[in-house]
Chain A
């Protein structure tokens, strides 16, 4: 069965600090990987996605993620966070080629102090 684990539940950073949020998944086959963001009171929006090709994926708002197949990881990074990045971040995975069951990690709340 698929599962997703996010390492940090709550992260607090100052503006301009660098960010890395960990994500590991459990699945033996080929997967598609996603990071979603949920700003306070809003719905989930896609930050970036990986299907194939270059394992370093760039998304919106300066975010990027690196897929490391050998580590079953898809960590999210941003060199310099802003106050407006305060939100909850979700890693998600679905098994490629199946009917698209999309499983989310438990989420990481990021608080950026101005």
Chain B
């Protein structure tokens, strides 16, 4: 398996633009997590899905952030409109909850909003 695949790896955008981050989890995994990593706040859980259903989105910073998981093999995290303070590395991770296995992380998307 290729692991968790995120795209793009790097994104530079102007303030006010819409940004969409993409994630393909490991095949067969039933949980998917979106994390944001910054120097100031560390690794924050934004939202996680179980069987494509959002379970906890309490970490989503505000309404500008939204996430979807239309099927078991794809998820998006959208920021609209983007702001400079959204600049961070966004990680997607997936796991198989029933087997009590660990979460596997993608390479991350480094987002810079100028």
> Per a CB cutoff under 8 Å, which of A46, A49, A101 touches B48?
A101
A70 at the interface (CB under 8 A from B): no
Across the interface, which residues of B come within 8 angstroms of A103, CB to CB?
A: 45
A-B contact count (CB 8 A): 53
CA A101 to CA B57, docked complex, whole Å: 11
> Per a CB cutoff under 8 Å, which of B42, B95, B106 touches A102?
B95
Q: How far is the CB of B36 from chain A (nearest CB, A)?
A: 11
Across the interface, which residues of B come within 8 angstroms of A92, CB to CB?
A: 103
CA A99 to CA B100, docked complex, whole Å: 10
The answer to whether B45 and A100 touch across the interface, beta carbons within 8 angstroms, is no
B50 at the interface (CB under 8 A from A): yes
CA A100 to CA B93, docked complex, whole Å: 12
Q: Which among B33, B48, B93, B105 has the highest number of chain A CB atoms within 10 Å?
A: B105
Across the interface, which residues of B come within 8 angstroms of A45, CB to CB?
A: 105
Q: How far is the CB of A69 from chain B (nearest CB, A)?
A: 17
Nearest chain A residue, comparing its CB with the CB of B101 = A49
Nearest chain B residue, comparing its CB with the CB of A51 = B100
What would be 25 A-B contacts, judged by CB atoms less than 8 Å apart? A34-B102, A34-B103, A42-B107, A43-B105, A43-B107, A45-B105, A46-B102, A46-B104, A49-B102, A90-B43, A96-B100, A99-B31, A99-B48, A99-B97, A100-B48, A100-B50, A100-B97, A100-B103, A101-B56, A102-B33, A103-B45, A104-B35, A104-B42, A104-B43, A107-B43
Which residues of B does A touch, CB under 8 Å?
31, 33, 35, 42-43, 45, 48, 50, 55-56, 91, 93, 95, 97, 100, 102-108
Q: A99-B97, A100-B48, A101-B48 given. 13 additional CB < 8 A pairs?
A: A32-B100, A43-B91, A43-B106, A46-B102, A46-B104, A49-B102, A51-B100, A99-B50, A102-B93, A104-B42, A104-B43, A104-B45, A105-B42
